[in-house]
């Protein structure tokens, strides 16, 4: 059942209200920002909205690749939900509030803190904020101060708490009180193969903090297995007193690359008062979970979906790049997407609407009608970022496969639609575009029907070309996206999407 949120859902944070758990993850340059999920049993999660849905609050249009919204924290206090995060491309650290986690959420309140990965801790009338920072010797670590929760203003000088255990990039810190002691939980080692979670405790919230002799309390840095990069943790207590940890990790392919992105995992926690927590009985994280102590029984959830766009709003699964206001689309028993003159090769906001690839083994059918002008083209892209993507393209008279790897651009297949071997009627411009994937390879096809499209594989691409390890320093994952590269007169209507997760174990994500 791990990961509990599969695909690009990193940096999870969690809280509980009565018998319901709420969780958020980071989104970087994608919009709407910070998806929020709810669950009764910690295994089955349903998305109920996004915490930031007004693009005017952010400056994502200025966001570089893997810029934008970094790690969020969600907390609940006295009837109000608080989500605090960092817009590294714009206003910095801020929080928004809501009485209903499904929204609406407030306008951002800027916090008088630099650094990233802010968190909140409530105790009595005091509210503490912590972020990354540096001590007087310029050592990286965690800083904290009391803030005015109405204005975001710091009420005291910032206090340096802890450098961590020596791993690079101490970040993603949270403070808890259990028994008589305060605990400072910190991610270290960078969000890659050396990632780890460490913890320290103190009798005073301001420290000094003493490191757990058993640190790290979670890491796979010396573990040989598919799940790697575990860290960036948050801990929640269920109503029955049991503790659980959510954290990110990623699944490697056989070639030791990962392209789905950093995902959200869960493990049980043993935590006695005034002692350090133990994660998953000190055992490596696996895809299987012993749910005997979880609150409620997990239910099977079908990860495949069919969308004919018959609703008047897009499903929460869809995102835009950076903002939505310059992307013209219509929903009327189909999604019609218009060109806006921006290419998907640009670090900007193209006519692009996508959803996350959630498993290695998938297939997807896109029933489209293309109406392109001049040399414009449209189609479906397997998109890691604007410098790395595979595109199954349609223009006025041909289908082609375009590949982009950094500065390399190539067309690896092209077939004219009036070719008698093209397996499609040229005058119709109604096509089924087909994507299939396994751990190592993407497959591209097209035709008049789903069957003909799936049998007409015309090109392939290696998944490792869209992997984080090949894309330098990036924090996202692969999307399947509909796009139009062209002017406003060009449009593509997507009548239906069928997305099938193939041969996957029963998972628990809506």
- Average pLDDT of span 327-337: 96
Same domain, 241 and 348: no
pLDDT in tens, 245-278: 999 999 999 878 999 999 999 999 999 999 999 9
Pick the catalytic residue from 11, 29, 391, 496: 11
Same domain, 190 and 337: no
- Average pLDDT of span 99-120: 97
Residue 5 lies in a domain: no
Contact in structure between 54 and 75 (CB atoms under 8 Å):
no
Percentage with pLDDT > 70 across the chain: 96
Residue 294 lies in a domain: no
Catalytic site includes residue 302: no
Same domain, 264 and 326: no
Same domain, 319 and 361: yes
Six-digit token string for 174: 């949270």
Residue 99 lies in a domain: yes
- Looking from the CA of 157 toward its CB, the CA atoms found within 13 Å total 3
CA atoms of 118 and 114, how far apart (whole Å): 9
Same domain, 335 and 276: no
Residue 159 lies in a domain: yes
Extract the runs of DSSP E, i.e. beta strands, from 304-420: 305-307, 320-321, 329-331, 335-338, 351-356, 362-371, 377-385, 388-394, 398-405, 408-416
Q: Is the dihedral of CA 275, 276, 277, 281 positive or negative?
A: negative
Give the model's pLDDT for residue 357. 98
Contact in structure between 47 and 36 (CB atoms under 8 Å):
yes
CA atoms of 28 and 406, how far apart (whole Å): 20
Give the model's pLDDT for residue 138. 85
DSSP state for residue 147 in the 8-state scheme: B
Which CATH number covers residue 91?
Answer: 2.115.10.20
Which CATH number covers residue 310?
Answer: 2.60.120.200
CA atoms of 118 and 116, how far apart (whole Å): 6
For residue 169, give Cα distances in angstroms to 11, 194, 352: 14, 11, 33
CA atoms of 364 and 483, how far apart (whole Å): 15
Residue 244 lies in a domain: yes
Same domain, 386 and 492: yes
Same domain, 127 and 259: yes
Same domain, 220 and 316: no
Residue 163 lies in a domain: yes
Residue 122 lies in a domain: yes
pLDDT band at 136, cuts 50/70/90?
confident
What global pTM score does this model have? Answer: 0.95
Domain boundary among 282, 317, 349: 282
In angstroms and rounded to an integer, the radius of gyration of the C-alpha atoms of the chain is 23
Pick the catalytic residue from 29, 55, 87, 171: 171
Is the bond leading into 32 cis (omega within 30 degrees of zero)? yes
Same domain, 278 and 341: no
> Domain total for the chain?
2
- Lowest-pLDDT range of 29-33, 134-138, 192-196, 291-295: 134-138
Same domain, 234 and 366: no
Six-digit token string for 96: 């928004």
Give the model's pLDDT for residue 428. 42
Range of the domain at 111: 13-282
Reply yes or no on whether the pLDDT at 193 is more than 90.
Answer: yes
Same domain, 251 and 324: no
Same domain, 75 and 190: yes
Instruction: Measure CA of the first residue to CA of the last residue in the chain; give whole Å.
Output: 13
Catalytic site includes residue 180: no
Residue 287 lies in a domain: no
């Amino acid at each position: 059942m791990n990961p509990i949120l599969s695909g690009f859902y990193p940096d999870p944070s969690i809280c509980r209200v009565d018998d319901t758990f709420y969780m958020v993850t980071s989104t970087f340059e994608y919009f709407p920002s910070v998806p929020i999920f709810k669950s009764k049993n910690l295994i089955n999660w349903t998305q109920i909205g996004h915490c930031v849905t007004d693009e005017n609050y952010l400056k994502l249009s200025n966001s570089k690749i893997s810029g934008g919204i970094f790690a969020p924290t969600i907390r609940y206090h006295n009837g109000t939900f608080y989500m605090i995060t960092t817009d590294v491309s714009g206003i910095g650290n801020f929080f928004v509030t809501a009485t209903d986690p499904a929204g609406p959420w407030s306008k951002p309140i800027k916090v008088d803190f630099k650094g990233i990965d802010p968190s909140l801790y409530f105790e009595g009338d005091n509210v503490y904020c912590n972020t990354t920072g540096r001590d007087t010797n310029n050592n990286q670590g965690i800083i904290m101060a009391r803030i005015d929760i109405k204005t975001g203003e710091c009420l005291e000088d910032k206090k340096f708490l802890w450098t961590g255990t020596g791993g690079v990039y101490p970040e993603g810190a949270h403070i808890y009180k259990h028994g008589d002691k305060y605990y400072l939980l910190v991610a270290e080692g960078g969000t890659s193969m050396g990632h780890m979670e460490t913890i320290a405790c103190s009798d005073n919230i301001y420290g000094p903090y003493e490191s757990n002799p058993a640190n790290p309390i979670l890491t796979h840095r010396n573990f040989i297995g598919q799940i790697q990069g575990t860290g960036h943790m948050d801990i929640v207590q269920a109503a029955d007193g049991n503790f659980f940890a959510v954290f990110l990790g990623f699944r490697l392919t056989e070639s030791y690359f990962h392209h789905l992105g950093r995902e959200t995992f869960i493990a049980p926690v043993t935590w006695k008062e005034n002692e350090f927590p133990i994660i998953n009985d000190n055992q490596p994280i696996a895809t299987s979970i012993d749910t005997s102590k979880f609150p409620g029984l997990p239910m099977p959830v079908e990860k495949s979906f069919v969308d004919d766009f018959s609703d008047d709003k897009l499903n929460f699964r869809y995102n835009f790049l950076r903002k939505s206001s310059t992307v013209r689309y219509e929903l009327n028993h189909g999604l019609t997407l218009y060109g806006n003159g921006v290419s998907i090769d640009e670090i900007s906001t193209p006519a692009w609407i996508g959803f996350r690839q959630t498993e290695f083994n998938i297939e997807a059918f896109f029933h489209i009608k293309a109406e392109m002008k001049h040399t414009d083209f449209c189609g479906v892209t397997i998109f890691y970022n604007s410098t790395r993507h595979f595109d199954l393209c349609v223009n006025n008279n041909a289908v082609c496969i375009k590949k982009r790897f950094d500065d390399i651009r190539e067309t690896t297949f092209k077939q004219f639609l009036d070719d008698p071997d093209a397996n499609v009627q040229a005058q119709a411009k109604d096509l089924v575009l087909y994507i299939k994937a396994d751990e190592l390879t993407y497959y591209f096809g097209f035709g008049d029907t789903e069957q003909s499209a799936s049998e007409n594989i015309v090109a392939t691409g290696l998944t490792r070309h869209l992997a984080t390890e090949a894309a330098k320093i990036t924090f996202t994952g692969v999307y399947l996206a509909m796009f139009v590269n062209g002017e406003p007169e060009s449009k593509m209507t997507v009548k239906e999407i069928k997305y099938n997760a193939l041969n996957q174990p029963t998972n628990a994500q809506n």
